[in-house]
Structure formats: C-alpha cells, structure tokens
Structure 1
Amino acid sequence: MSKFDAIRPYYDAEVNQAILSAINHPMMKALMNFAYENEDDSVWKEQLKRTHSIRDFQINFAYKAVKKVLEKSSDGLSTSGFEKLEPNTSYLFISNHRDIILDTSLLNVCLHEHGLVMTASAIGDNLVKKDFLKTLSKLNRNFLVQRGLPPRELLESSKLMSEYIGQLLLRENRSVWIAQREGRTKDGNDATHSGVLKMLAMASGEATMLDYFKKLKIVPVSISYEYDPTDALKMPQLMAEANAEKYIKDKNEDFITLLSGIIGQKKRIHIHVGEVLTNEIDKIACEFDNTNKQIQALAQVIDDAILQTYKLWPTNYIAYDLLFKTDQFKAFYTENEKSLFERRLEMRIDETNPQMVEGFLAMYANPVVNKMKYENAG
C-alpha cells in the first residue's frame, strides 16, 4: 500500500472501475445531463464506460461541464499571464480562494486551453464526505486535505501532504493548486497564511527551505468574480466571527455552497497567473536568515502579487462607494450597474441589520481597499 493512498486521487488503472461504480448515481445523471444537454443518457454513459484515465475524464467530461457552467452562469472568463508559463512544466499555483470547486476548475480550463500541465488540487475532506463526491473529486485529480484532526495527527497529516505535493511537482511533473489559506476568503481580504508555507516546507529534506521553494516553482494566482455566487451564504459565518461567537455549520451547508457556486450568477470572471517567484525568493534569502521571517516575507510577496493583479469589477467600486458613503469611484460604474447591485443587496440581505449590510458591502469593497494601499505606496 502506498503511503499516499489515504489522500491521493485515483491512479489511471483505477479510473474505469471508479466510473462504473458511480455511473448510475442520480448526481452523475444530473451532472451529465447538464454537460450533455439535449443528448440521450446512452451517449455519455457509453463514453464514460470507455474512459480509462484521469486526463480523459477531465478533458471529455469535467472540461465540458465547466464550459457549460461558464456559458449558463457567467458573462465570460478572461485571463492574463498564461503566455509566460512553459509547456510540459509543473508549477505550484498558490491562489486566493473564493469558490470551493470553480477556482481550481477554471484554472484547469485555462491551463488546458493554453497547452499547459493541469493541476492536482487540494480539497478539504469535509467537502467530500458523501461517497459519490469523493469518487468525483478523485476522478478530477483532487487530493484530500484532512481537516479537524487533533494536533499530533494534524502534524503527521501535514507532513504527508507536504511530501505528496513534492512528489507530484518534482517527480511526476504534475502541477499543483493550493489555496493561500485554509478555507475560502469570506470577507474579501485575501491573505496568505504562514501555516500553508510551513506545511509545504516540511518536505524540504536536505535542501534549505528557500532553495526547496525555488524548486517547486511557486506561481501566485488571483481569481476575481464580478458577483460572488455565494456572497449571501458567507454572511452568517462572518456575523458570528464579528460578534466573537463560535460558528457551527449546518449539516448540508458545504454542499449547498458548492452547488450555489456552480449554478449561481457570476457575471464576469478574471484569472491572472503571475511569474515564478525565483528572484523574490533570492531577495528574501539575502535579507533574512531566520526561517520564520523568511516565511513571513514570502507570504507577503505572494499577497502583493495576488492583491496587485486582482481584477476589480464595477461591483467592487460600487460597494466601496456605498460602504464609505462617497462617490470616489463613480467613474468606474454606470447608474444601471449600481442599481442592479443595490437590488442584489436588497434581495439577499436583511437590510434592517446594519452589521449584515456592512459585512456584505465590505466583502466586495475590501479588494479596492487592498489595491489602494499599493497605489498609495507607489
């Protein structure tokens, strides 16, 4: 038994068996009827039965499904930076994280369309408790991040994941996607958690930590949605945290969020991939010899790259002006865009609760606040 069996996706030799075990599941039918609209079930069933590799599954089914999601629930996906990446090369993509499934699925669509290596992607095991979802995630080259473990087991699990990520990138030439923090950003403030970098460093072995990070070829990624399809769903947790209360998720909350992210309206989406952080890591090596300070400096470099390239939409500027009762950015949106956003706020949020209104607006306004820090510094 391989040491990674508890967390890894399927090997190609296991793919067909896994597909056959899930092919008659009602959720598979729903997914395929969405991707293969107006086609008889026998068409996709026959094609699935002939699928024997993750790549085939991703390109013939997952890719098709994500393109359909874009067609039905967005006004299009734009990209920048992909032309600077090399084909047949693995990268460690560290990205801000807004949507459970789409962030990584959209990145893979872009990588595939640019002829680049697609990713194995980290996903919390709390999201795939149902057998069907676990099967689907392993078919889509997700590996599991084990959540909610006691400290000692968490340490072991982090070491295992670190080793697995190193194995994928350095031995299998497989790109990896990982979020800059555990869980999605709920308040629009994207920040890299040092714990993620410490976990990655666990597999550095004999190499110095920074030399190891250079080998991993870290590429920061920013993804921005004009409308966050799960904005209102993020509010209860934000409110609990604002009032220093413990937040307990509802039984099906993750699943509802996952579905809402897929089918909810997103309007425009933009993904920017940065350049490999080689020079930045060399600079950190010259400036700091303390490991913790190096980790903090690298987290800051990743933040800078993500926040500065984050695409701001009219919704971000509208929220900023509403939140701060100003018309500073009125040149960046139309009256029609503003009234549509206010209508969304009205429909999704209890407007008699000022704390909730403020939280909702801040979620959209914070990327503007963060970007202004750089412009003011410049």
Structure 2
Amino acid sequence: MTQFDDIRPFEDQEVPAVMRRLLKDQALRRTAVAFLFPGLASRWGWLLRPLVGLYLRLRFGRVRNVDDFQRRLEGYLTRLLDRSTAGFTVSGLDRLDRSKAYLFVSNHRDIVMDPAFMNWSLYQHGFQTVRIAIGDNLLSQPFVSDLMRVNKSFIVKRSVPGRREKLMEARKLSAYIHHSIVEENANIWIAQREGRAKDGIDKTNPAVIGMFSLNRPKPRPYADYIRELNIVPVAISYEFDPCDAMKARERYYQLERGGYSKGKDEDVRSIAKGMSGWKGRVHLSFGEPLTEYDFQNDTEVAVAVDRQIHRMYRLFETHETAHRWLHECPEQEGPAWVPVELRERVSKQAPELRPYILAQYANAVESQQNAE
C-alpha cells in the first residue's frame, strides 16, 4: 500500500485480475454494443452482447500487463484514425529528449482523443506513453474506471466534499505528479484547466499550475521546483470537432438560460461521439520545455503555457472561415465563400446555436492574433 493507491494507474501485477473483472462486466458489453452497432443495439442487443463479449475475450483475454493492453489498442486506434480523420500530423517532438520525463500541459477539446493522439504520437516516435489525468466525474461506472486506470490514467478527485478534503486531495495529486516525473521518470498529461474548452478559448487556469507546487517544501525556491517538472505546453487542433453541436448547446443554456444540467450518461455519449465522429485533419504541436525561466508565481507559468499553445495552434480553413463568417455576416446561413462541409454542419443546427458553434472555431484565430 502507498499513499497513491486510490488514484494511481494499475500496475502490471494488478492487470490480470482487472481484465478478468472487465471481461465479465455486462455494462461494458452493453456500452460496446451501443458504440459499435448504434443502429442495432436497441433491437438486437440481446444477441450482439454475447458476440461482443466473445470478441473482447479473444482480443484482451491474454493481456498480462499495461504494455500488453496498450499494444492491443494500437491496431484499434489505427483503424479509428483512418475512419475518423483526414490525416494526423505532429510537430515539435524534435525538441524533446526520449530519456527524460515531461509534464505535458495541453489545451483540451476531447475527453478521450486528446490524450489518445498524444499517446499515439509518442509511441510512434519511440517515447514512453503518458499517465493521463482524468476527473472522477467521468468515472460514473466501475468498468470505465478500470479501463482508464489499466490504460495509465490516474484520478483527479473533483467530487470530494469540503474545503479541507479538497486541499488534501490536491496535495496528494501534486505529490503524485512530482513523484511520477522525478522519481519514476514517467510522462504525465494533464489539461490546462478543468473540462473541455467549449468556447474554443484555450486559457490555462493558474490554479492547475498552483496544484503542481502544492507539495513543494517551503525552503525550496518556486522556480527550481517548476523547472524540475519539465513542463511542456501542447496544442491540439481539430479541423472539425465531432462534439461541437453538443458543446454549443451546453454553452447556450449556460449563458442564455441560466444553467445547464447534463443528462444521464451524457459524458459517455460525448466520449463515443468524440472517438468515432469525423474530425477532418488533426495536428498536435509539442512546445519547448519551460526549463529556462525563473518563474516567480503560478500566473507567470500559466501565461507562458498559453503563449506557446496559441502560437503553435494549427489553424485550419474551418477556423479562419468561421472567424470571418461570425464577424462579417453572422445572420446568414452560410455565405457562398463558406465551404460546403462547414456550412452544412452549422446550418442544420437551431439558429440560436449557430453563433456558439462558429465561436468554437473562430476563437482560436483571436487567440493566435493576440499571442502574436
């Protein structure tokens, strides 16, 4: 037992028991059927679930450690990228050292695919994959927690009650991140703020940076401790966001109707749509490690992360066209110069949601202009 047992990823010796538990889980089979056969699940689920269970046993029944599990995911992820993207490109990995561990701080568009693209690019270029920070609000079912933790995820406990308890969990998380990087030489991925950027504005929450140093010994200079973490900003850009309409609806209700309450299993639906939905081109940019600066506080670090993310962010035609559309003719349902795919994507939504969809793409242009 260690102080991190309730939040850390599963270790190799724990994996066989976890896999046996997963392969018997009926909720996992139901979810897999709904994801793989959305048009047939309601009527033929009773027939498909045993078949999917057999497939899962054949595919994952002999998994004995974390590397086994991730190797088996590689083929599936390859097919997923082929079906849901028009190409995936990476830049900036030449700035990094394969022998070092980094704390990757990324903008956040998709619950699963952001770290999946990160892991894919690192794996293909000979780097170790990352330990992924995931909020406990997404672990509504036991099988989801098991899957995430066997895939090197660690838990961010956001739902704990009480200020004192939240501080204790934040200190534990801080200690775990530092321990992973400095003691275990393990890469970490964490989003720059809680939740996805549903408005397309990528801004680091200084409180996230503050959490990194919560466990810093008082005599230790702040700048030294931050340098030791090897923070690397990362920017991921999607030509099309499969969840843009869902995000627009949530944003509209929050701003125009005073609040939004998520439906049952809405996060699971977002995960499924984000994984299988069309993304067009995707680009992942790795920045320069923040190891050459004498940062004095969390805000300075957050500003440095944002500056790199905004400058590195790959703008596609969807971003630039949405920016022009939103500012030049927001009342039109797609001027002649708007590409058909973007026009159809926006125009099929309710009129009140269209500006919120356009803003998700257009705000990246604003951020890059401001950074320059």
Cα separation, partners in 2 of 1:28 and 1:316, compared to 1, 3 Å: same
What is the alpha-carbon distance in structure 2 between the residues aligned to residue 165 and residue 140 of structure 1? 17
Report if aligned partners of 2:29, 2:53 keep a CA contact under 8 Å in 1: no
Structure 2 counterpart of 1:325, from 323, 328, 338: 328
Tell me the residue number matched to 1:8. Answer: 8
Displacement of 1:30 = 7.2
Displacement of 1:47 = 5.3
What is the alpha-carbon distance in structure 1 between the residues aligned to residue 248 and residue 30 of structure 2? 32
Residue 339 in 1 paired to residue 340 in 2? yes
Query: Counterparts of 1:30-179 in structure 2 under 5 Å?
Result: 45-46=57-58, 48-61=60-73, 63-149=74-160, 150-179=162-191
Partner AA of 1:346 in structure 2: S
What is the alpha-carbon distance in structure 1 between the residues aligned to residue 318 and residue 223 of structure 2? 38
Tell me the residue number matched to 1:290. Answer: none
Partner AA of 1:170 in structure 2: V
Tell me the residue number matched to 1:221. Answer: 234
Displacement of 1:48 = 2.4
Calculate percent identity across the aligned residue pairs. Answer: 33
Residue 296 in 1 paired to residue 299 in 2? yes
1:202-248 CA-to-partner distances (Å, cap 9, x unmatched) read: 12224222211101100000000000110011123211332372322
Displacement of 1:2 = 1.7
Report if aligned partners of 1:66, 1:106 keep a CA contact under 8 Å in 2: no
Structure 2 counterpart of 1:315, from 302, 308, 318: 318
1:333-365 CA-to-partner distances (Å, cap 9, x unmatched) read: x96862221111112x202x2xx2211111110
Displacement of 1:109 = 0.5
What is the alpha-carbon distance in structure 1 between the residues aligned to residue 146 and residue 276 of structure 2? 21
What is the alpha-carbon distance in structure 2 between the residues aligned to residue 199 and residue 127 of structure 1? 20
TM-score (norm 2): 0.88
Alignment partner of 2:283: what SS? strand
1:143-198 CA-to-partner distances (Å, cap 9, x unmatched) read: 01112332221111101111111111111111000000011100000000011011
Tell me the residue number matched to 1:17. Answer: 17
Report if aligned partners of 1:31, 1:65 keep a CA contact under 8 Å in 2: no
What is the alpha-carbon distance in structure 1 between the residues aligned to residue 114 and residue 321 of structure 2? 24
1:263-296 CA-to-partner distances (Å, cap 9, x unmatched) read: 11101100000111112x22x35xxxxxxxx211
Report if aligned partners of 1:314, 1:337 keep a CA contact under 8 Å in 2: no
Cα separation, partners in 2 of 1:176 and 1:276, compared to 1, 3 Å: same
What is the alpha-carbon distance in structure 2 between the residues aligned to residue 185 and residue 230 of structure 1? 11
Tell me the residue number matched to 1:350. Answer: 350
Tell me the residue number matched to 1:189. Answer: 201
Alignment partner of 1:77: what SS? strand
Report if aligned partners of 2:98, 2:126 keep a CA contact under 8 Å in 1: yes
Structure 2 counterpart of 1:270, from 263, 278, 283: 283
What is the alpha-carbon distance in structure 1 between the residues aligned to residue 338 and residue 70 of structure 2? 36
What is the alpha-carbon distance in structure 1 between the residues aligned to residue 30 and residue 72 of structure 2? 15
> What runs of 5+ residues in structure 1 fail to find an aligned partner?
286-293, 328-333
Report if aligned partners of 1:188, 1:367 keep a CA contact under 8 Å in 2: yes
Structure 1 counterpart of 2:271, from 245, 254, 258: 258
Residue 305 in 1 paired to residue 316 in 2? no
TM-score (norm 1): 0.87
Displacement of 1:53 = 1.3
CA-based RMSD:
2.3
What is the alpha-carbon distance in structure 2 between the residues aligned to residue 29 and residue 248 of structure 1? 24
